[in-house]
Structure formats: structure tokens, C-alpha cells
């Protein structure tokens, strides 16, 4: 399990979503609510919602969801940032 000390502070949403798109997610800006972005993993059609501020706790939750849906780990995402 990924601990909070292994995760950086706040990450820019634009940088985070670009990294996920490079890893295979599909960005659907209109799928989110207001300032949120919806990213879809094409193989399972599961989606995650990325808020405008990606804080440490939000990032930890998103990384758990990303790993569950796609099998990508924090190391994979970190390499693309």
C-alpha cells in the first residue's frame, strides 16, 4: 500500500492528466462536473474523476483507483510526470 510520505504534495492537474493520457487513459473534459476532468481506461471502460486541485490525499485515492482499474502503479505514473 502506498503511504502518504511516498506521495509528493500537490500536483498540477494538467501535468497529472497528461501523464495518464500518455499511459493510455482517454481524457473526456466534458464528462466531469464543472472543473473536474473524467479519464477513462479503455480496456475496462472504468473512469476516474480528477478534481481541479490534486492534493496529497486525493492523489493517494486516485492512485488506488488507477491501479485497480488499469494495473498501473505510482512508479509508472511518476515516470511520465
Instruction: Give me the mean pLDDT over the 18-29 stretch.
Output: 93
Order across the sheet with 46-50: list the strands. 26-28, 37-41, 46-50
Percent of the chain with pLDDT over 70: 98
How many angstroms separate the CA atoms of 25 and 6, rounded?
23
pTM for the whole thing? 0.88
Q: What's the average model confidence in pLDDT over 62-80?
A: 93
Residue 32's alpha-carbon distances to 1, 2, 51, 60, 75, in angstroms, are 28, 26, 9, 19, 26
User: For residue 21, is pLDDT > 90?
Assistant: yes
* Phi (first) and psi of residue 27, to 5 degrees: -90, 130
Label residue 15 by pLDDT band (50, 70, 90).
very high
Q: Which fold has domain 7-80?
A: Metal Transport, Frataxin; Chain A (3.30.920)
Q: What pLDDT shows up at residue 5?
A: 80
Q: What are the boundaries of each domain within the chain? A: 7-80
Amino acid at each position: 500500500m502506498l503511504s502518504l510520505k511516498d506521495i509528493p504534495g500537490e500536483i498540477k492537474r494538467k501535468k497529472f492528466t497528461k501523464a495518464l493520457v500518455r499511459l493510455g487513459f482517454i481524457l473526456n473534459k466534458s464528462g466531469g462536473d464543472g472543473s473536474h476532468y473524467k479519464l477513462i481506461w479503455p480496456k475496462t471502460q472504468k473512469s476516474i474523476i480528477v478534481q481541479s486541485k490534486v492534493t496529497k490525499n486525493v492523489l493517494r485515492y486516485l492512485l488506488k483507483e488507477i491501479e485497480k482499474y488499469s494495473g498501473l502503479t505510482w512508479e509508472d505514473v511518476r515516470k511520465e510526470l
